Amino acid sequence: MTARRILGVDFSGATDAGRRIWVAEGRARDDVFELLDLRPAAALEGGGLSPSVAIAALRAHIVKVPDTVAGLDFPFSIPRSLIEESSWIAFIRAFPARFGDADAFRNWAFRKAGMRELRRAADRAAKTPFNSYNLRIHRQTWWGITALLHPLVVSGAAIVRPYQAMPRRPKPIVIEACPACGMKSLGFYPQYKGRSDAHRAARRAVLRRLIVDRLMATPSRILSARMIDDPGGDALDAVIAAIATAHAEIAPDADEDEMFEGRIYGTLHRPAVIAHVD
C-alpha cells in the first residue's frame, strides 16, 4: 500500500510570499515522517514571488495528488461571535467579495470585536501565538482564505476539515497546522529564527531533536541544509507542520463550535523509547 502524501506548509502573505512560503513533502511510515522534498513556493510549478502567483501554485500543488493531507500554518477562521453568516462555508464563500484587502478585513474584525483581539477556542486550546486578525497575522489570514481556501471550497477540489465532511473517496484534505504549537508541545522551543551563529545552531538542534525523538527520519544532506541554512526558519517550520500533519487524528465528527472556528493540529507525539543519534 502506498503511504499517504503529507504536506506541511509554512504560510505567508508578504509581498515576496513565494520566497517565504515553504512546502515540505513526505510520507509517514510507522509514525515516523520521511521528508522527500522541501522548497519555497516560488520553486513550485507555476510559482513566483508575488502572493497571488505563489499561492495559486501552492493550491495546484496540494490538489495534484488525491490521497494528500496538507497542514497549513494560517488561521482558517475567526471567532464564532464575529461570523455573521450561517456557516463557515458561507463565511468563506462571501469573504473575498466582502473584504477587498487584508487591512479592510482587520479593521472590520477589530471594530466588530469591540476593539479587542478575540481568540478562537481552537487558539486557546492550541496556545497559538496570535489571534486571526492580529496585526502580525491578518495578512496571512486574508491571503489564506481569499486565495487558497475560497477557491478550494468553491471548486470542491479539496476538503477542509473539520468544517466539511470527510470524503468517501480519496480527495485532498486540508487542515490548519501550527509549528509553534508543535514545538511547545515538545517542550523544546529555542530561538531559531535569525541569521546569527546561535540561531543557526538552534535550527540544527531542533532538527536533531526531531530525529532523536523519532518524529522524523534522518533527511538527506541537501534537505537538512535547506532547513539549517534558511535564516527565517520557514523551511524548518514547514517540516514541523508536516510532522504535526502526519500525526493529526482527523476525526470524522466535530462539535458545533469547531464547525465555525475549526481545530488546530500542532501536537508532536513522542514515543516512549528514544533512539540515540551520534
How many C-beta atoms surround the C-beta of residue 115 within 10 A? 7
Q: What is the mean pLDDT of the chain?
A: 93
Taking the chain, what is the end-to-end CA distance rounded to the nearest angstrom? Answer: 32
| Residue 211 to residue 189: CA distance in whole angstroms | 15
pLDDT band at 89 (very low <50, low <70, confident <90, very high): very high
Residue 64 has pLDDT above 60, yes or no: yes
More confident residue, 185 or 111: 111
Residue 272 has pLDDT above 60, yes or no: no
pLDDT band at 2 (very low <50, low <70, confident <90, very high): low
Provide the pLDDT for residue 271.
39
| Residue 93 to residue 232: CA distance in whole angstroms | 33
The percentage of the chain sitting over the pLDDT mark of 70, rounded to a whole number, equals 96
E-assigned strand segments in the chain: 5-10, 22-29, 32-40, 68-72, 159-160, 173-177, 264-265
- Would you list the domain boundaries of the chain? 5-181+236-265
pLDDT, mean of residues 15-22: 98
pLDDT, mean of residues 42-63: 98
Provide the pLDDT for residue 250.
81
pLDDT band at 167 (very low <50, low <70, confident <90, very high): confident
More confident residue, 189 or 274: 189
pLDDT, mean of residues 242-265: 89
The residue type of 41 is: A
Provide the pLDDT for residue 29.
85
Provide the pLDDT for residue 185.
87
More confident residue, 257 or 197: 197
pLDDT, mean of residues 247-253: 81
Cell (9 digits) for 213: 525523538
pLDDT, mean of residues 228-247: 96
Place of cell 492580529: 134
The one-character DSSP state at 216 is B
- Among 43-52, 87-96, 160-169, 269-278, the range scoring the smallest mean pLDDT is 269-278
